[in-house]
Structure 1
Amino acid sequence: MPKRDTRAEIATAFKESVRKTSLSQARVADLISELGVNRNTFYYHFGSKYDVAMWIFRTSLAAKLRHDFPESQLVSAPFSSTGAGKDSLPYYVHKETGARTLDTSGYYKALVATVLEDPDFYRKLFTPREHEFIQQVAETLIPAFKDDIEFILDGRYMPDETKALLADSCAHQAISLIEFFLVNRGSTQTLLDEHMNPFWNIIQESLYTAIQEHPINRF
């Protein structure tokens, strides 16, 4: 008999619950009752229902990134530091195109493609009403953008507070991109055409330009 994949079962039941209601209304108690598992089993795999949502998002994104990019360009981190969430999952890419320049256009296409595989589900997650989930996504992305900033700086000085501001801004721009495509699905075909929309690297290009044009010197 195949071993039961409890984590996957929780995720599947959770997706159906969110589709029927919303992320805010989905209840851990209902999942536990439906699957016939105890609370300890649930909390071994996930810290909260928001962790379930993040695991679904991150595993889907990881699969897409592994398909689209070589291992050497993948940026990975554990889903969680405890329990069953220690798996290292790709969530970003580092593709160098020159001195202190990066190309993240393929990453953003992969990010959008991931949520458009199940738009009815992800529209329930990427909404301003789900602030806690949005914040978890931002906190996942921020370390990668901080690394990008360090790469662009190449040893030049910038206050940590400024780095944090820029990284947070980039993370929320990435989230806004997801939200735009989920709301404007009719625009997808045009926007995925590189001739009609050559702006997929705009977040990275804007970050690079801003850092180059506004050098910061120590007093």
Structure 2
Amino acid sequence: MPYSNATKQAFADALRKLLEQKPFAKISVSHICEECGMNRKSFYYHFKDKYDLVNWIFDTEITKIFSEEEWKNAGFTWDILEKICEYFYKHRTFYSKVLQIEGQNSFTEHFRDILVPVNRKFLAMVEEEEKGEHEEFYIHFFSDAFLAALVRWLEDRECVSPQEFSALLRSSVEMIAKYVLQSQK
């Protein structure tokens, strides 16, 4: 691992450890630096702020699951959704905390920005007349719905398996699609 990535990973490990002890809002850059024995100058050389560190953790780990090319060019598939759910489930303690953070630079905004193009590709499979003039609304609706369902799932003490959760998402989408298609007849 190149030195730069090792340094970034040390900050990431420190943040994960601190999140086991206290909420994200109570963790400062100084706390992260103290935890891993590095200075603030080094932190700010690599990251804009602690939110940027959270986003880096996700971006780095998701590319271990999918190649960068595969992730950026992925059309929507249920297999990809299941892999994403497995990733969040494996790291649910971390993500259940960082997904609670709202606002500028938050992971929630970062992940929403990732979901929008994925949903755009998904809706590209739907015929133009069915989308009508409200395509952007549908794209953001499905992005927000997935995010809300993900947060609720991760925060549930007895959350179902990633396979069951992704199956529930799939059946929900299929049920909505079936209803829409029947109502148009």
User: What secondary structure, in the 3-state scheme, does the structure 2 residue paired with 1:60 have?
Assistant: helix
Q: Which residue of 1 aligns with 2:86?
A: 113
TM-score (norm. length: structure 1):
0.64
Q: Check whether the contact 1:10–1:35 (CA below 8 A) recurs between aligned residues.
A: yes
Q: Which residue of 2 aligns with 1:26?
A: 27
Structure-2 separation of matches of 1:146 and 1:183: 27
2:126 matches 1:184: no
Q: Which residue of 2 aligns with 1:138?
A: 112
Amino acid at match of 2:71: V
User: What secondary structure, in the 3-state scheme, does the structure 1 residue paired with 2:24 have?
Assistant: coil
Give 1:185 deviation, angstroms: 4.8
Q: Which residue of 2 aligns with 1:101?
A: none
Which structure 1 segments of 5+ residues have no match? Answer: 77-91, 96-103
Q: Check whether the contact 1:170–1:203 (CA below 8 A) recurs between aligned residues.
A: no
TM-score (norm. length: structure 2):
0.74
Amino acid at match of 2:57: I
Q: 1:139 to 1:114 in 2, by over 3 A?
A: same
Between structures 1 and 2, the one with greater strand share = 1
**Per-residue Cα deviation, 1:141-194 (whole angstroms, up to 9, x for no partner):** 1122123223434699844xx3332121111222123223223353524x7359
Give matches, 1:48-63, under 5 Å: 48-63=49-64
Structure-2 separation of matches of 1:34 and 1:148: 42
Q: Which residue of 2 aligns with 1:13?
A: 14
2:75 matches 1:75: no
Superposition RMSD in Å: 3.5
Give matches, 1:80-95, under 5 Å: 93-95=74-76
User: What secondary structure, in the 3-state scheme, does the structure 2 residue paired with 1:188 have?
Assistant: coil
Q: Check whether the contact 2:33–2:39 (CA below 8 A) recurs between aligned residues.
A: yes
Q: Check whether the contact 1:109–1:200 (CA below 8 A) recurs between aligned residues.
A: no
**Per-residue Cα deviation, 1:71-92 (whole angstroms, up to 9, x for no partner):** 88x332xxxxxxxxxxxxxxx8
Q: Check whether the contact 1:15–1:121 (CA below 8 A) recurs between aligned residues.
A: yes
Q: Which one is further off, 199-208 or 53-62? A: 199-208
Q: Check whether the contact 2:63–2:71 (CA below 8 A) recurs between aligned residues.
A: no
Q: Which one scores higher on RCO, CA 8 angstroms, separation ≥ 6?
A: 2
Q: Check whether the contact 1:152–1:208 (CA below 8 A) recurs between aligned residues.
A: no
Q: Check whether the contact 1:116–1:182 (CA below 8 A) recurs between aligned residues.
A: yes
Give 1:6 deviation, angstroms: 0.7
User: What secondary structure, in the 3-state scheme, does the structure 2 residue paired with 1:21 have?
Assistant: coil
Q: Check whether the contact 1:173–1:203 (CA below 8 A) recurs between aligned residues.
A: no
Give 1:47 deviation, angstroms: 2.0
Q: 1:108 to 1:152 in 2, by over 3 A?
A: same
Structure-1 separation of matches of 2:53 and 2:132: 36
Between structures 1 and 2, the one with greater helix share = 2
Which structure 2 segments of 5+ residues have no match? Answer: none
**Equivalences, count:** 179
